[in-house]
Amino acid sequence: MPNHLAERLRPFSTTIFAAMSELAVATDSLNLGQGFPDIDGPAELAQVAMEAIGAGRNQYPPSQGIPELRAAIAAHQSAWYGIAYSPDDEILVTTGATEAIAAVMLALCEPGDEIVMFEPSYDSYAACAAMAGASVRLVRLHAPDWWFDPAELAAAIGPRTRLILLNTPHNPTGKVFGADELAVIADLCCSHDLLAVTDEVYEHLIFEGTHIPLAGLPGMAERTVSISSGGKTFSFTGWKVGWVTAPAPLLAAVRSVKQFLTYTSGEPFQLAIARGLLFAPEEINRLGLALRAKRDLFCDGLAELGFTVYRPSATYFATTDIGEVAPEMDAVAFCMALPARCGVVAIPSSVFYGAGAGAGAGAGDTLVRWAFCKQDDVLREALSRLAKWRSVS
């Protein structure tokens, strides 16, 4: 019989991303669902990993992460954001941001605690909150620019609130939280003595605006646990090298959990990401620049097809409202019909609402998320296939 934890996780039993990728393979569709690029990142980084394997760096590396990568993360945080972290006790390498999110929730939340976060939200937050026995309070982001009401955020904070979880740049909307919005969040954290957990995995995939880490705001360094990952920045999502930066006491708590989740992660990939983090800024920004042109190509095409397009400022996801194009159906029905009708896979954004397998009543019902981190030909082909939507009945 499943135990209580398995029961709590039942709504999350299959991730939508995996399910839709399987559907793409089964129907031989273009996969604009799960977010991963169809071109690998820099060959130089792959070479570092291959050489490391050849050089015998194949046994358990230190649980906290190899010194080269911790030093590179410290240098990156200092050079990009002016935030100083000690590689000795304020940086932890994890198996992707996914493990970081789980370890942070398990280390910092008590059963019954509340986590305040924005909706729509990335799927693993609510699942990890459930693992920790914590519950989630949601604050809505509103189209077209995904604004939030500061009063709603303040009202979501109660006596059991432990932390505010912020994902910027934001999946699925592509929003980059601005300085004023971050100041509101920081003020609430400080005045209610809350922790902040930030997921910044898209920090370098920005088209408009600037990524500002919450940890850099006044009063926030001592209460913020920041998470990032090399997967998006360097287009190696399968390498699963993530990290946590936090003040030493918080980091120690997260580290004690991480030790018993995975203990450590593969050294060759850590070495490669360490090299990447030391790239010159133009090199690190290169993928973002390429993605901006793809965003425009794809979003312009979707708009011409009649979709209402919410053009993202960052990430590799575009959100559309399908109300005009498919007035008779919701996003789930649309995305389930799309492979057979057009040979394209996308994600119904309703799954990002309600903090648990799309349990949100009606929210995001007509929103669809498209991953545009694909070759231009693939995007053009997807657009031409989507043009058939109206002609097939």
Q: Which residues bind ligand GLN (CB under 6 A)?
A: 15, 17-18, 34-35, 171
Give the C-alpha distances (Å, rounded to integers) separating 175 from 54, 151, 157, 326, 371. Answer: 42, 20, 23, 25, 15
Which amino acid is it at 38? D
DSSP secondary structure code for residue 358 in this structure: T
What is the H or E stretch that residue 368 is in? strand 367-371
Minimum gap (Å) between residue 33 Cβ and ligand GLN: 7
The binder of 264, among ligand PMP, ligand GLN, none, by C-beta within 5 to 8 A per type, is none
Which residues have C-beta within 8 Å of that of residue 93, sequence separation ≥ 6?
A: 64, 65, 66, 69, 70, 73, 241, 242, 243, 265, 270
CA neighbor of 317 nearest in space, from 383, 371, 380, 378: 371
Asked whether position 203 contacts ligand PMP by CB under 6 A, the answer is no
Using CB under 6 A as the binding rule, whether residue 237 contacts ligand PMP is answered as yes
- Binding site partner of 34, from ligand PMP, ligand GLN, none, Cβ cut-off 5-8 A by kind: ligand GLN
Q: Does 284 bind ligand PMP (CB under 6 A)?
A: no
- Find the shortest distance in angstroms from Cβ 232 to ligand GLN: 8
CB 44 within 8 A of CB 383: no
In 3D space, the residue among 284, 126, 113, 299 whose CA is nearest the CA of residue 205 turns out to be 284
- Nearest distance in Å: CB 375, ligand PMP: 20
Tell how far CA 192 is from the center of its chain: 26
310 binds ligand PMP (CB under 6 A): no
87-107 burial, b for 16+ CB within 10 Å, e for fewer? bebbbbbbbbbbbbbbbbbbb
- Going 254 to 260 to 263 to 269, the CA torsion angle's sign is negative
Residue 78 tokens, joined: 């200092």
Q: Which residues contact 131 (CB under 8 A, 6 or more apart)?
A: 5, 8, 9, 102, 105, 106
Phi and psi angles of residue 360, each rounded to the nearest 5 degrees, phi first = -65, 130
Q: How far is the CB of 36 from ligand PMP (least distance, A)?
A: 8
**Shortest distance, CB of residue 316 to ligand GLN, whole angstroms?**
9
Among residues 201, 225, 272, 299, which is the contact residue for ligand PMP, using CB under 6 A? 201
> Contact region for ligand PMP (CB under 6 A) — 18-26, 152-160, 237-245, 273-281?
237-245
Question: Judged by CB, which is closer to ligand PMP: 242, or 301?
Answer: 242
Q: Which residue is nearest to ligand PMP (CB)?
A: 96
Of 85, 118, 122, 298, the one binding ligand PMP (CB under 6 A) is: 122
Q: How far is the CB of 237 from ligand PMP (least distance, A)?
A: 5
Question: Looking at this protein, which amino acid is placed at residue 381?
Answer: E
Q: How far apart are CA 46 and CA 300, in angstroms?
A: 34
CA distance 122 to 301: 26
Binding mask 67-106 for ligand PMP (x = CB under 6 A): -----------------------------xxx--------
Residue 167 or 350 with smaller CB distance to ligand PMP: 167
Q: Which stretch binds ligand PMP (CB under 6 A): 105-113, 235-243, 280-288, 375-383?
A: 235-243
Residues 65/48, Cβ–Cβ less than 8 Å: no
Judged by CB, which is closer to ligand PMP: 92, or 326?
92
Binding to ligand PMP (CB under 6 A): which residues in 30-49?
A: 35
In angstroms, give the least distance from the CB of 137 to ligand GLN. Answer: 22
User: Is residue 349 a contact point for ligand PMP (CB under 6 A)?
Assistant: no
- Residue ranges binding ligand PMP (CB under 6 A): 35, 96-98, 122, 167, 171, 199, 201, 229, 231, 237, 240, 242
